[in-house]
Structure 1
Amino acid sequence: VMSQEVKKENPLQFKFRAKFYPEDVAQELIQDITLRLFYLQ
Structure 2
Amino acid sequence: MTEAAVMKKSKNPKAPKLFSDELIDQLLTQVQNKDAESVLGE
Q: TM-score, normalised by structure 2?
A: 0.21
Larger RCO (alpha carbons 8 Å, 6+ apart): 2
Q: TM-score, normalised by structure 1?
A: 0.22
Structure that is richer in helix per residue: 2
Q: Which has the larger radius of gyration?
A: 1
